[in-house]
Amino acid sequence: MRRERLGFGFALAVLSLWCTMEVVVEAAWSLQTPVKLVWHYYKVHNTCDYAEAYIRHQVESFYKYDKTIAPKLLRLLYADCFVNGCDASVLLDGPNSEKTAPQNRGLGGFAFIDKIKTVLEARCPGVVSCADILNLATRDAVHLAGAPSYPVYTGRRDRMTSTKDSVDLPSPSISWEASLAYFRSRGLDVLDMTTLLGAHSMGRTHCSFIVDRLYNFNDTGKPDPSMKASLLEEMRKLCPPKTRKGQPDPLIFLNPASGSKYSFTNSYYSRVLTNEAVLGVDQQLLYNKDTKQITEEFAAGFEDFRRSFALSMSRMGNINVLTGKEGEIRKNCRFPNKK
């Protein structure tokens, strides 16, 4: 896979993750510039030498009893980074905060982040940001699920405000063109998009996010013709048409092949190729030459997907970060500090 060279600093950290890949797609292979974060920030600055170890220990303890934390944290990190940037604004409570936006319905993992923050405040008070905790905890959780343990640069600070009006996360039924435009608006490329959508290899979603594909695709009154007949039948049994207000909105697995195992695999891409993707945006990967080519490569080689995931997650974690004197280091991830 050919990635356009943007610099060598980050590449040195991930060089060992890469091997020759057959897909030829122009894409970046380093963090977006300027890079304001630091590898092992808290150790380098001697402020909390074992911050990452403390976080990893908490993740490992929780994962033993609840494997859903991996997909929950992945979605939480996406919801944070793609709105204002990776600044932990999605963690803030409030009647009109980001977590109250319709697109963020069903977000989880908040209590888990609270637990880690409590541990860190007891050991290194006022030092480790909620934004860094979210990025590091997500890395460690998905690694336990089968993803690579990629480098996470740190030194982020926390935003002090959060509004639901700022949440512009797109519908999961958008076209690949609209999806790519959205990713590019965040400094990411077609390889990042195709790779990060692979996070749908595990986790669950509400029926309301796919009911249009099942019964009224593009206002036609018919199902999405690209959906495999057996999948359509299966999903319709789980997700009846909405006929009344207050009707239950069941949860379904994003990738039935992974299901309750919540394992990180490349089976998502195989399902896209056989028209068995649950979300519309995932099935759209077949309709662009580059995304289809990448999908075929990842379906054929799990290690190719893992290596690309390592870099794309690091690039996502670099979106519009606050550093230096920007923002603050929250004492409680749910509330800004009192002045």
Show me where the domains of the chain are located. Answer: 38-203+254-317
On the CB side of 221, CA atoms within 13 Å amount to 0
Predicted local confidence at residue 21, as pLDDT: 46
For residue 238, give the nearest of 221, 252, 222 by alpha carbon: 252
CATH (one of 3.40.50.150, 1.10.520.10, 2.30.30.140, 3.40.50.2300) for 38-203+254-317:
1.10.520.10
As a whole number of angstroms, the distance between CA 327 and CA 301 comes to: 41
Q: Give the residue-averaged pLDDT of 55-67.
A: 97
Considering only 22-36, 117-131, 259-273, 318-332, which range has the smallest mean pLDDT? 22-36
Give Dmax (Cα) for the chain.
61
Tell me the sheet residues that pair with 28: 4
Q: Give the residue-averaged pLDDT of 331-335.
A: 98
Paired tokens of 152: 């996470």
Neighbour tally for 118: CB within 10 Å: 12
Beta carbons of 154 and 37 less than 8 angstroms apart: yes
Q: What CA–CA distances, in Å, run from 194 to 37, 52, 284, 303?
A: 25, 29, 10, 15
Paired tokens of 245: 């207000």
Q: Is 98 annotated as a binding residue?
A: yes
Q: What CA–CA distances, in Å, run from 163 to 91, 166, 174, 270?
A: 11, 6, 24, 38
Highest mean pLDDT among 130-134, 150-154, 245-249: 130-134
Q: Tell me whether residue 75 is one of the annotated catalytic residues.
A: yes
Of 3, 56, 75, 330, the active-site residue reads 75
For residue 223, pLDDT over 90 is answered with yes
pLDDT in tens, 149-192: 999 999 999 999 999 999 999 999 999 999 999 999 999 999 99
Paired tokens of 62: 């929780």
Q: Is 87 annotated as a binding residue?
A: yes
Tell me the sheet residues that pair with 205: 252
What average pLDDT does the structure give for the chain? Answer: 91
Question: Cα angle at 17 between 112 and 288, to 5 degrees?
Answer: 85
For residue 122, pLDDT over 80 is answered with yes
For residue 216, pLDDT over 70 is answered with yes
For residue 15, pLDDT over 60 is answered with no
Predicted local confidence at residue 245, as pLDDT: 85
pLDDT in tens, 297-314: 999 999 999 999 999 999
Predicted local confidence at residue 24, as pLDDT: 53
For residue 28, pLDDT over 80 is answered with no
pLDDT in tens, 68-81: 999 999 999 999 99
Residues in CB range of 189: below 8 A, 6 or more apart: 26, 27, 28, 183
Model confidence at 135, pLDDT cuts 50, 70, 90, reads very high
Beta carbons of 133 and 116 less than 8 angstroms apart: yes
Q: Is 200 annotated as a binding residue?
A: yes
For residue 27, give the nearest of 200, 198, 180, 197 by alpha carbon: 180
Q: Is 259 annotated as a binding residue?
A: no
What global pTM score does this model have? Answer: 0.91
Predicted local confidence at residue 25, as pLDDT: 61
Considering only 11-15, 258-262, 314-318, which range has the smallest mean pLDDT? 11-15
Paired tokens of 273: 């190729």
The single-letter DSSP state of residue 115 is H
Q: What CA–CA distances, in Å, run from 248 to 132, 241, 245, 270, 276?
A: 36, 11, 9, 31, 24
Q: Give the residue-averaged pLDDT of 7-12.
A: 40
Q: Is 83 annotated as a binding residue?
A: yes
Percent of the chain having pLDDT more than 70?
91
Predicted local confidence at residue 213, as pLDDT: 96
Q: Which backbone phi and psi does 334 adopt, to 5 degrees?
A: -90, -15
Beta carbons of 282 and 273 less than 8 angstroms apart: no
Percent of the chain having pLDDT more than 90?
85
